Structure 1
Amino acid sequence: MNKEMRLQTISKLISEHEIKTQEELGEWLNCSGLQVTQATISRDIRELKLIKVPSKDGTPKYSFKMDQDHFIFEKLRHKLKDALIGMEVINYFIIIKTLPGHAHAFGALLDSMDIAGKAGTICGNDTCLIICRSPEEAVSFKQQIDLLQA
């Protein structure tokens, strides 16, 4: 079996099963008729850009980055609902005011998201400063956050 078919098989297995370790993935591949080494599995995981996300029971499992993006968006949506006080665009910046102690959580979520125009975040106790690359991108970024609140 060629590499492309092996990667497709791994993608299918990850989509259909909660696979938590490389050893478990190797067992599934073996059951699918593929004999692969741990080194090959490790390279395939890197090439597919698989990441670990919480499974239904809370233990880490392999997943695709797009699943992680959905997970992050959902966490941000809940955080916006639970702790956001206000948001304001000033030139290149977006200032997010939160309940005390929540700004760092906003910053961590926003930093993990790949949103065009965002250069980075700086957070205190109740304020998160998002630095954008242009005033237009700051407005666009805020609009994207506003859509999450809808």
Structure 2
Amino acid sequence: MKKEMRLQTISKLISEHEIKTQEELGQLLHVSGLQVTQATISRDIRELKLIKVPSKDGSLKYSFQIDQDHLISEKLRHKMKDALVGMEVINYFVIIKTLPGHAHSFGALFDSMEIDGKAGTICGNDTCLIICRTPDEATSIKQKIDLYQK
């Protein structure tokens, strides 16, 4: 079976089942008529950018990165509603003022997001600083973040 078909089969299995281990995935592939090694499964997981997320029973299961991006977006939306005080752009920086004790959670969310133009974050108790590559990218990033407030 060609690689593309195998990847499609894995994607379908991940969508239909709560697969928690590579061994479980290998067994389901075997039931589907595919004989693959653990090394192949591992490479396929990397290529599909599968990640582990909490399942309904609290253990971890394989999921697609898209699902994780959606979860991060929802967390950021709620965090902004609950703890954002203000935001402004100064040259290469987006300065985010938060309620005391919340800046690090904002920084962790921004660090986990792929945002074009973001070089990194630095956080204190009530301030999160997003360091941008250019002043224009700082403005663009602030505009993207503003969309989470709506």
The answer to whether TM tops 0.5 is: yes
CA deviation digits over 1:68-90, x for unaligned, max 9? 11111111111111111111111
**Which TM-score applies when normalising by structure 1?**
0.95
The answer to whether residue 64 in structure 2 is matched with residue 64 in structure 1 is yes
CA distance in 2, matches of 1:130, 1:56: 34
Matched residue of 1:86: which SS? strand
Structure 1 counterpart of 2:52: 52
The letter for the 2-side match of 1:28 is L
1:88-107 mapped onto 2 (5 Å cutoff):
88-107=88-107
Structure 1 counterpart of 2:40: 40
Q: Give the % identical residues.
A: 83
1:22-33 mapped onto 2 (5 Å cutoff):
22-33=22-33
Matched residue of 1:53: which SS? strand
CA distance in 2, matches of 1:3, 1:140: 39
Aligned length: 150
The letter for the 2-side match of 1:138 is A
**Which TM-score applies when normalising by structure 2?**
0.95
Structure 1 gap ranges (5+): none
CA distance in 2, matches of 1:74, 1:56: 18
1:1-150 mapped onto 2 (5 Å cutoff):
1-150=1-150
Cα deviation, residue 128, structure 1: 0.3
The letter for the 2-side match of 1:149 is Q
Structure 2 gap ranges (5+): none
Structure 1 outlier segments of 4+, above 3 Å? none
CA distance in 2, matches of 1:113, 1:15: 23
Cα deviation, residue 57, structure 1: 2.9
Cα deviation, residue 58, structure 1: 2.7
Matched residue of 1:18: which SS? coil
Cα deviation, residue 4, structure 1: 1.6
Matched residue of 1:76: which SS? helix
